[in-house]
Amino acid sequence: MSRSESRLARLLREMRVSFVLALPLVLSQVSSMAMNIVDTVLAGRHGPVTLAAVGVGSAVWSVVILVSIGVLMAVPPTVSQLNGAGRRADIGPVFRQALWLALGLGLALIFVVRGGAVALEPLGITAEARPEAVAFLRAISWGAPGLALFFCLRNLSEGVAWTLPSMVFGLLGLTLLAPLGWGLMFGADLGAAGLGYAVAIVLWCQAAAMAVYLWGAPRFADLGLFSRFDAPSWPPIRALLKLGLPMGVSVFMEGSLFVATALLVGTLGTTQMAAHQIAILMASLCFMVPLGVAMATTVRVGHAVGAGDLSGVRWSAAAGFSLAMIAQTLSAIVLVAGAAWLASLFTTDPAVIALASLLMAYAAVFQYPDGLQALSAGSLRGLKDVRVPMVITVLAYWGFGLPLGAWLGLSQGQGAPGLWTGLILGLSVAASLLGWRFWRLARRPLPAVSVT
């Protein structure tokens, strides 16, 4: 920062850079969420049994998504640190080992999904919906390698601070899914299985299109991403797993917190469950903004680490936090002011609308801790600090937030609002501890950049 540049001017400049980097990521995340909505709409048109089956199958599939996202989050900070250090020649070899990791992960997840199908009966899923749910899971399982490879490919692009392809190929998948899903579900009369095959095909198309783009785009030419074949090598794969597995646990812990809360609300009756579904959908949509900003912040912090720029680490994080808080403030206003109208888009039941409106007020409150924990976690990923954050998320979400919410909601009779209080407090604990962890590390000397 030059002497003539004020701190506010520097912050605004950093925010502008982060905004440009984050916007495609936000739109990419929104398109991914929209694919779930397309699945739900198509399944609902096919019939209530198909809708229930796809709902159950999607819950199992969400585990695959969370694991893939988490483990392959190791790629952006690794690539961004090498890029920041001017070691672009090292990016290609690491990327090729990341592809092996993604392929192995995807193949393993095929069996995880099919194992989930076997577990539906012991879990008590109704006999009516179970056959269609099994068919959906068996079909969609073929998409697991495509999903993992696509995440690996887009994470490489994001790691070198080029996020536009994530948006473009995310929208491509959304565009393909509706007609393909309709054709296989209704035209080929495959029901829920047709929708599963459609998702799998779309994921492979996204992976293939992204690979072709990376292979031919001039901005990646010097990286030599596909210049030669490298056999799997354990040291770099081990380094990626050492970074990615704790991230996978952290992402899974947060995602499963919301899944577990939904299951607990489901024991309280249809009105509370319906209201919860509406409110959590709105909150999840709002969360796409800080999530995209956090992903951009990971890249910017990682680049600054590679360049040995400790001041840049702090300014990149400050820009991300500022953008997230502005976005969360706007989200909170919309959730409070538009709660009844938003709820009325989904139902005409006055009781559901009233409770959903109340829960959206709770959602407005947790916009701030949710945004802060996302940005803190993203900033820590840029530093490659993952083990302590993993412990923090496990304790905050499952050791504190969920038990407290269950006690308030079920034992104390507060219902869904009590469970949402647990969400707020769990997110607040995570945000406080993760934020403290980052700013503490951001005052220390930066570590050397390493890929092993």
Domain co-membership, 184 together with 286: no
Q: Using CA of residue 85, residue 242, residue 23, residue 301, what is the dihedral sign?
A: negative
Q: What is the DSSP letter of 119?
A: T
Helix (H) or strand (E) holding 309: none
> Which of 189, 214, 232 finishes a domain?
232
Domain end residue (candidates: 178, 198, 232): 232
Could you give phi then psi for residue 15, rounded to 5 degrees? -65, -40
Q: Tell me, yes or no, whether 169 and 289 share the same domain.
A: no
Query: Does residue 359 share a domain with residue 228?
Result: no
Contact 165, 210 (CB under 8 A): yes
**Does 172 share its domain with 296?**
no
Within a domain: 3: no
Answer yes or no: is pLDDT of 1 > 60: no
Amino acid in the structure at residue 88 = R
Average pLDDT, the chain: 90
Query: Quick one: which H or E segment has residue 157?
Result: helix 144-159
- Name which of 281, 280, 110 is nearest 196 in CA terms: 110
> Can you tell me the distance from the alpha carbon of 380 to that of 24, in angstroms, rounded to the nearest whole number?
21
The more confidently predicted of residues 361 and 47 is 361
Domain count, the chain: 2
Residue pair 250/192 in contact (Cβ under 8 Å)? The answer is: no
Express each pLDDT in 118-173 by its tens digit.
Answer: 777 776 666 777 888 889 999 999 999 999 999 999 999 999 999 999 999 999 99
Which alpha helices (DSSP H) does 75-191 contain, by range? Answer: 75-84, 91-118, 130-140, 144-159, 164-182
Q: Are residues 28 and 121 in the same domain?
A: yes
Mean of pLDDT values over 61-72 = 85
User: In this predicted model, what pLDDT tens digit does every residue of 347-395 receive, in sequence order?
Assistant: 788 888 899 899 999 999 989 999 999 999 999 999 999 999 999 999 9
Domain-terminating residue out of 194, 212, 232: 232
pTM comes to 0.88
The torsion defined by the Cα of 249, 288, 105 and 390, in degrees rounded to 10, comes to -10
DSSP symbols for 140-154: HGGGHHHHHHHHHHH
Q: In this structure, are residues 333 and 368 in contact, taking their beta carbons and an 8 Å threshold?
A: no
Q: What average pLDDT does range 275-294 have in this prediction?
A: 88
For the chain, state the CA radius of gyration: 22
Does 335 lie in the same domain as 303?
Answer: yes
- What are 288-332's pLDDT values in tens digits? 899 999 999 999 999 999 999 999 999 999 999 999 999 999 999
Residues 330 and 448 reside in one and the same domain: yes
Is residue 176 domain-shared with residue 264, that is, in the same domain? no
4 pLDDT band, cuts 50/70/90, is: low
Handedness of CA 241, 243, 246, 251 (dihedral sign): negative
Q: Which domain holds residue 149?
A: 22-232
| pLDDT digit string, tens, across residues 169-228 | 999 999 999 999 999 999 998 988 999 999 999 999 999 999 999 999 999 999 999 999
426 & 280 share domain: yes
Question: 410-439, pLDDT tens digit by residue?
Answer: 899 898 899 999 999 999 999 999 999 999
